Amino acid sequence: MNHLLSRLSPSITNMIRMDHTHVLSAFHQYEVETSPRVKKGLVDNICVALEIHAQLEEEIFYPALRAIAETAAVDKSVPEHDQMRRLIKQLRNLSPGQPSYDETFFELMNNVLHHVADEETLLLPTAERVLAGQLGELGAEMTKRRLQLAAPRSGEIAGSMARSMSPRSLAVGAGALLACGYLLSRPRGARPGVAQRAGGTVAR
Ligand SMILES: [Fe+2]
Ligand SMILES: [Fe+2]
Assess whether pLDDT exceeds 60 at residue 176. Answer: no
CA of 55 to the centre of ligand 2 (A): 10
Contact by Cβ (8 Å): 15, 182: no
Percent of the chain with pLDDT over 70: 78
CA of 142 to the centre of ligand 1 (A): 14
pTM for the whole thing?
0.80
Given this model, what pLDDT does residue 168 score? 57
Contact by Cβ (8 Å): 33, 125: no
Q: Tens digit of pLDDT for each residue in 123-138?
A: 999 999 999 999 999 9
User: Alpha carbon of 1 to those of 4, 8, 65, 140, 178: distances in Å?
Assistant: 5, 10, 26, 10, 20
Length of the chain: 204
CA of 32 to the centre of ligand 1 (A): 26
Q: Is 122 exposed, middle or buried (0-12, 13-18, 19+ CB in 10 A)?
A: middle
Q: Tens digit of pLDDT for each residue in 62-120?
A: 999 999 988 788 999 999 999 999 999 999 999 999 989 999 999 999 999 999 999 99
